[in-house]
Structure formats: structure tokens, C-alpha cells
Amino acid sequence: MRGFSKRTPVEEVVDWIDGCLSPLASESVLLAQSAGRVLLDDIVASIDVPSFDRAAMDGYAVRGEETVGASDYNRLPFRLIGESMPGAAFDGTVEVGTTVRIMTGAPVPAGANAVVPAEYASSSGDTVEITSAFPPQKHIGKRGEDVKQGTTLLRSGRRLRAQDVGLMASIGVAEVPVIRCPRIRLLITGNELIEPGQPRGEFEIFESNSYVLRSLTQRDGGIVESIRGLNDDRDAIHSAMTDDGADVIIVSGGSSVGAEDHAPSIVAEHGELAIHGVAMRPSSPTGMGKIADSIIFLLPGNPVSCLCAYDFFTGRAIRGLGGRSLSWPYPKQQLTLSGKIASAIGRVDYCRVSISEDGVHPISLSGASILSSTTRADGFVVVPADSEGFAAGTSIDVWLYDRD
């Protein structure tokens, strides 16, 4: 065993990650599968929406100028000559003194320029009496009022929302060009680990990191290619790290400098071990590099360290490869610290905190294996490397685990 020769500042680690990132190749997906994906090309409207003038109310299509003077005491009669329904237009023309029954969304017939709502009309046989005036263009949705043909509706790089998908459907888009989702391989190492649900021996531990990492990678737009539980066996770890098929390989455990920590030397022998040891707490044993076309992240096995290193580094890479924002996907609030947070110059500290009416309370400044500290926490505070911490009463930025 040996110590780390150096610990790389967090800023330099982030710079290295960003230097590895460029959006992945494109693919085309069905419209129904496009929500949440990152758009590759601009979406330009090929048609007007609506593509015809349509009724905005149920009622009667008329020549609006003919309704001037209509009231309850001056009921103006019109001859009913047909009807216009959604998908079934009236094929005649509204001429002087005539009207057509029309439903919301139906095409406005030729000659008509207004719709009288049904509550301002009464019909008997082929006669309709209008009791209120409606000027031309009243209650008519004009062609192209929603979307004009040739308009750029959605820009490249946009993460598609549900309403974006609906808008593309409205112009007839069936397939959407998007950036390919990064393929993520999770390698969970440790002789002592067993799956939840299995019988547990006295010195065995239920494995939890894969469940955390799977959820986080999916949140950040990655697709889990495989999850492989591995003993601390060099050949098995080597084989799993050098297989093709993954854009990002995350190794949980075996990232430090112990006798069973094989992953760093495998990266160094078969690719580039760019960073091993980071000036932060927790997660200082984190490493990263490349083997062939895969970016490798060596994350500590301790659950809090694993979570912290993922959030600081791995998640950023996955989002960048998938064309998403590099920023943390956590909302931020500025709140007042109720108790001091102590740190040391030269390292970044990730501090779990809870929030109450009294302010922000540090939960734990150590204990990298205490996963329950993250479930008790409402969020975290980052102490920068040039700070010795924060005194009680300080206004600080808090990153919130929940978006609600």
C-alpha cells in the first residue's frame, strides 16, 4: 500500500472532463419516444397551424357586418343553409342573409367572416335568429395563428418537453433527430458485496451503490448498458473495463491505493490514468481516465463518497456527452447557516445539510460510509478550496436534492 502522490484540485478535474466532451452522434427516434431527449437539428414548420380559418366557438358562421343592430329586441333572421363540422367542411358559400351551423374547430365556410356563439342565436326549421352583433373576425381562429409555415419552432440543443412533442405532432413530424444517449456500464467491485434479497453472511454487505448510480445516470440522460458485480479479481475487472460498448464506465470500489485496488493500474496500463486522487472531502480517492473511446470514472466504494464523486464529475460527463447542460440538476437557494462548517484550505468540502425554520444545519462533515446522512439531508453545501468554512449566520448557497 502507498499514499497518493498528489491530489488534483477540483477545478483541474472539471477542466479535464470538459476537454473530453463533445456530443455523441445523432439518431432518429419516433416522436412518441422523443420527450426528454436533446434535439439535434432545428425544427422548422412545414405547414401553417391551423391550415385553415376555423371556428373558435360552437354557433353560426355569418357575414359579421350583417349582425349590426341585433339585440334581444331586434332579432335578425338568417336562412340556415348547412353545417360545418370538424373534418367535414361546408362546401357552399355564405351569402347575404344566410348562415351555417358550425362547431368549434370546424372550417369557416367561404363568405363567412364571424361566428355567433350558440347562446346568442335560436333556430326554428331553416331560420336562425341572431340577438347580438359580432364584428368580422370575431370568434375565428385565423390560418397560421398558432404556427406560421417556415418558422423555426425548436432550436438544436433543446431538451424536449412534453409540449414540444405536442407541437411537433401538430406540424406532422413523425421522427425526431436527437443526440444519442450515452451508454453507461456500472462495475461494482468487492468480495464482501451481495445483492439485496440474498442470504447475508456475518461479514457480508448488501450492495447499494449500483442502485444509486443507476438512478443518477438515468436522471442525467444515460442508458445503463450493463451492471456487473465483480469480485476483487484483476482479470475480471480488466475484462469488464476493456469490453467495447460503453461511452462511460463507472467503477465503484477499488479506486484507492490498497492491495485489492486494481482499477487504477488497469486504466494506466491500457489507456490513460489522467487523475488519481482529488483534493476534496469526501471522495478524495476518485480517479478518472480513458481506455479506447470510453471515459473511465473510478469512484470510491463508500456510499457518500460515491454519490459525491458522481455528482461532481461523472454526472457532468454524462450530461455533456448527451448534449445536456453541464450544470448540476439541483435547484439552489440562498439560506442562512445556523451552525458553523469547518473546512481546510486547499480542498473542497461537500457537506450534507438539513433545512428548518431556524436555518441550515450541517448533518455530517465526515462519515463517507453513512448513506443515511444523505436521506436525512435536504441538500448540500459546497465549501470552496480557498475557504476555511462558514460561520453560523452566514448566508450560503444550498443545493437542494428535491426539486419540489
- Predicted confidence at residue 125, as pLDDT, reads 93
pLDDT digits (tens, 9 = 90+) for 206-252: 999 999 999 999 999 999 999 999 998 999 999 999 999 999 999 99
Could you say which residues of the chain have pLDDT below 70? 1-5, 257-260, 364-369, 403-404
pTM summary value: 0.85
- Predicted confidence at residue 374, as pLDDT, reads 80
Query: Are residues 371 and 361 in contact, defined by beta-carbon separation less than 8 angstroms?
Result: no
Please determine, looking at this structure, whether the domain spanning 332-400 carries the CATH number 1.10.357.10: no
pLDDT digits (tens, 9 = 90+) for 155-200: 999 999 999 999 999 999 999 999 999 999 999 998 888 888 888 8
107 secondary structure, DSSP code: B
**Cis ω before 282 (30° cut-off from 0):** yes
- Predicted confidence at residue 202, as pLDDT, reads 86
3-class DSSP assignment, residue 235:
helix
What burial letters (b/e) apply to 25-36, b meaning 16+ CB within 10 Å? eeeebebeebbe
Give residue for cell 448513506: 371
* Cα distance between the two ends of the chain: 45
Superfamily of domain 10-25+181-321: MoaB/Mog-like domain (3.40.980.10)
Domain with residues 26-49+145-179, CATH architecture? Alpha-Beta Complex (3.90)
Query: For the chain, what are the domain ranges?
Result: 10-25+181-321, 26-49+145-179, 54-141, 332-400
Return the number of other C-beta atoms located less than 10 Å from residue 176's C-beta: 24
- Predicted confidence at residue 1, as pLDDT, reads 42
At 376, which amino acid appears? R
Superfamily of domain 54-141: Molybdopterin biosynthesis moea protein, domain 3. (2.170.190.11)
- Predicted confidence at residue 274, as pLDDT, reads 95
